[in-house]
A and B are shown apart, each in its own frame.
Chain A
Amino acid sequence: MGTFIVRRLIASVFLLIVVAAITFAIFFLLPRLAGQTTYNLATQYVGRNPTRSAVLQIEQQLGLNKPLYVQYGHFLKGIVAGEHYSAGPNTVYCPPPCFGYSFKSQLPVWPQMASDIPVTLSLAIGASVIWLVSGVSIGVLSALKRGSVFDRAAMGVALAGVSLPVFFTGLILLELFVYKWNLLPAPTFVPFTQNPWKWAENLILPWITLAFLYAALYARLTRAGMLETMNEDYIRTARAKGLPERTVITKHGLRAALTPLVTIFGMDLGLLLGGAIITEFTFGLHGLGLFTIEAIQNQDLPEILGVTLLAAFFIVIANMVVDILYAYIDPRVRP
C-alpha cells in the first residue's frame, strides 16, 4: 500500500510537469507557430500605448527572445524556487510557488490567487458536503421506494436541478432571501477563522445554489447505482443469511453502490476548486472563478497561465486522492 501511494505521488508530479508543459506551449509555442514574433508577444505585456523601447525591454525581461526550453526551465524554476523579476526600476522577488509576474497589474500572480483560494475552497467544500448528503440520501430513498410518489417527485426535482442554470436559481434565491424577506445578508466573504457563523451565513445561498445542481445529478447517479446493486447476487446472499434489511442495504448495498460516486465526486470537487465561475460571478464572491474571468478580460497571460495550472493541480491531486481511496475501498484494485 505504501509503495502504491509513493508510486501514485510520483506519477502525479510527472503528470503536473506535463500539464505545465502543455499549458506553457499553448501560451508561448502556439502563437509562434501561428506566425507571431517575440516582439508581438512582448507587446501584450506592455500597457495600452507601447513604445518600441518598452516592448524591447519587456522582451528582454521576460526572456521571450531566449529559446523556448530555457523559458520553460525558468517558468518551472519559478514555481519551485521563486524567481526575480525586474519591474521598472526595481527588482521584484516572486517567492515560490511563483506562477509568473503580471506586468498589467504590476504584481506577482501567486499572492493574488492565494487570497482568492479560501473563497473558492469554502464555496466548494461547503456545497459539496450539502450535495453529497442530500443527493445520496435522496437517491437511496428513491431507489428503495422505486415508483413511489417520493421517487417520482424527487426525480422530477432532480431533473429541474440538472436543467436549471446556476445564474437562474442563484438570482431567485438572492431575490427572495436577501432582498424580499431580508433573512440573509448579501453574500460577502468572511474568513472562517474570523467568524465561523458569519462565514456560513454568507455562504449558505451560494452553497445551496451550487449544491442543487450537483445534488440533482448525484441523486440520479445514486438511484441508478443502488437499483443495480440491489439486484446483485451478493445482496440475495446477504438476505439469505437472515441479515436485517437495514444491514443489507447499508453494509452490502450502499458500500458497493457508492464506490463509483467516489470517482465522480473527486473529479467534481477538483474541478470546482479551480473556480466555480458562474456561482462566484452570480453572488459576487471573489474567488478563483472571478479571478479567471478578470484575467481573461484583461488578457493577462501570466494570470491565465497561473490559474490554469492551479486548476490542473487541483484536478491531478483530486485524481490521486480518488485512486488511493479506491484502493482502500475496493480490495480488488489493491496492489
Chain B
Amino acid sequence: MVGGESPRQGDGAGGRFARRRARHRSSMELEAHATRERTGEAEPSGMLDIRDLRIHFPTDDGLVKAVDGLSFTLDRGRTLGIVGESGSGKSVTSLGILGLYNTGNAQMSGKIYLDGEDIVAASQARVRELRGNKMAMIFQDPLSSMHPYYTVGDQIAEAYLIHNKVGKKAARAHAVDLLKRVGIPQAASRVDDYPHQFSGGMRQRAMIAMALSCDPELLIADEPTTALDVTVQAQILDLILDLQQEYDSAVIMITHDLGVVAELADDILVMYAGRMAEYGSSEDIFTRPGHPYTWGLLGSMPRLDEVRQERLLSIRGTPPSLINVPAGCPFHPRCDYAARTNGRSENEVPGLRPVGPGHLVACHLSTDEQRRIWAERAKVAS
C-alpha cells in the first residue's frame, strides 16, 4: 500500500467523513457571534472552545502537569478523536471539561467555553447544572462505573430527575425510552435489573443511555469500547455514531485505539505529555501525518489491509513523567528524527505550526522534511 491511502476499514469511514463534512453549522456561528458581543474580549467559537487549558496537580514529588496548554475547538455534530498513550492527559482533559477538577487540589487555568460560557471560571453550582445535562460522559469500564446497588433504570433516571422538573414516574418512563433507544431488548422489564445482571455490551449501552438522559450537546466518550468484546465494540461505536446524528451533539472520543477514531472521528487530536502534538482532519492524520509521534502510533497499529510485517513497530522508550517533562520537544528522547533539527528539539519547545489547511503539527522538522520522511516510511511499510 502506497501513501497510506485510507485508514483501516477505509470504505465505511470514508463515507462517514464525507457525510459529516457536508453538514451546516450556521446556527452555531450565529450563537458564537452573539456570545462574542456579550463578552467583548474573548471570542469563543464553536460549541466547545478550549484555550490554553492547563490542569496541574501538586503532589509530594512535584507538580504533575497532566494537561499543559491545550487549545482546540469543536462544533456541534462533529466528532473529535483524542489519541495518545496512557498518561498523555486525555482523560484528565475530559474530566476537566466536565468541571470535575474545579474542586480539590487541582490547579486549573485557561478557558473552556461551552456555548460561550467559561467553565473554568464558572461557579461550582453552575458547572454542576451543566454537567450531566448539557455535557455528559461515557466512561470506560461500565461495570465499575455503575453503582452496584442501584437498578439500571434508577441510575439512568437520576440525572434526568436532577436536571428537569419531572416526577419519578416520568423519569422512569424516560429511562425505559432511553434503554429502547440504545437497543436493550425488553427495556420495560430490564429497567429494573441491576448492572451485574447485564452483559458487558448491554452495560455499556446502559452507560450511554445514562449519558444521553438529558440530550447533551457535548458527549465525551472515554475509551468506550476498551472493556468490550471486539464484536460488541463495533456495535457500540455504531450506536454512538447513530445517536450523535440523531441528537446532533458534539462528540469527543478519547482512545488509544487508532482504529476507533478512524471509524468515527472527523478530526483527530494527538496528545503527548499533556500537550497537542498534532491536530488535523482524519484524512490528514491518516494520510499525511506530520509528527514523528503520530508516525509511531500509526506504525504500531496492526493492519489487515497490508502484507503482514515481521513485527509491529513500537515507539521506543516510555512516555515521560509528567513531573519532569523533557526540555524542548517533550517527545525528543524517543524521536528517531530529533537529530535532524540541529539541537532545536532538545532546547526549544516546538510551537504548533500549520502544515496544511486546519492541520497543525508541533515539530521542528520542516514541512518538506516531514512529507519526505513519511513517504519513505510508507514505502518501507508496503
Using CB atoms and an 8 Å cutoff, list the residues of chain A in contact with chain B: 232-234, 236-244, 247, 252, 255-256, 329-332
Contacts and interface: CB of A to CB of B under 8 A. Distances in A.
A232 B144 contact: yes
B210 interface: yes
Interface in B126-154: 128-133, 136-137, 139, 141, 144-149, 151
B292 to A, nearest CB: 34
Contact of B149 (A237, A241, A329): A329
Contacts of A234: 144-148
Interface stretch (B24-32, B33-41, B155-163): B155-163
Given A237-B139, A332-B194, A332-B196, A242 B131 contact: yes
A243 B144 contact: no
B100 interface: yes
Interface in B354-376: none
A241 B132 contact: yes
A232 B195 CA distance: 15
A247 B130 CA distance: 17
A331 B194 contact: yes
A242 B147 CA distance: 15
A255 B148 CA distance: 10
Nearest to A252: B147
B98 interface: yes
B328 to A, nearest CB: 35
Contacts of B130: 242
Contacts of B132: 240-243
Contacts, number: 70
B177 to A, nearest CB: 18
A241 B131 contact: yes
Contact of A238 (B141, B144, B147, B196): B147
Contacts of B133: 242
B141 A240 contact: no
A256 B149 contact: yes
Nearest to A247: B162
B55 to A, nearest CB: 15
Contacts of B194: 331-332
Q: Tell me which of A232, A238, A240, A247 has the highest count of chain B C-beta atoms within 10 A of its own C-beta.
A: A240
27 contacts: A233-B144, A234-B144, A234-B148, A236-B139, A237-B146, A237-B210, A238-B147, A238-B158, A240-B132, A241-B132, A241-B158, A241-B159, A241-B210, A242-B130, A242-B131, A242-B132, A242-B159, A243-B132, A244-B162, A255-B149, A329-B149, A331-B149, A331-B151, A331-B194, A332-B148, A332-B194, A332-B196
Given A331-B194, A331-B196, A240 B131 contact: yes
A237 to B, nearest CB: 5
Contacts of A247: 162
3 cross-chain pairs, A with B, having the tightest CB-CB distances, nearest first: A242-B132, A241-B132, A242-B131
A243 B162 contact: yes
A170 B128 CA distance: 49
B147 A237 contact: yes
B128 A237 contact: no
B114 to A, nearest CB: 13
B139 A330 contact: no
Contact of B162 (A233, A242, A255, A329): A242
Contacts of B162: 241-244, 247
Given A240-B98, A242-B163, A243-B158, A233 B141 contact: yes
Contacts of A241: 131-132, 136, 158-159, 162, 210
A229 to B, nearest CB: 10
Given A331-B196, A332-B196, A240 B136 contact: yes
A314 B196 CA distance: 34
A237 B154 CA distance: 13
B149 A330 contact: yes
A120 B319 CA distance: 63
A330 B149 CA distance: 6
Interface string B273-306: 0000000000000000000000000000000000
A187 to B, nearest CB: 41
Contacts of A252: 147
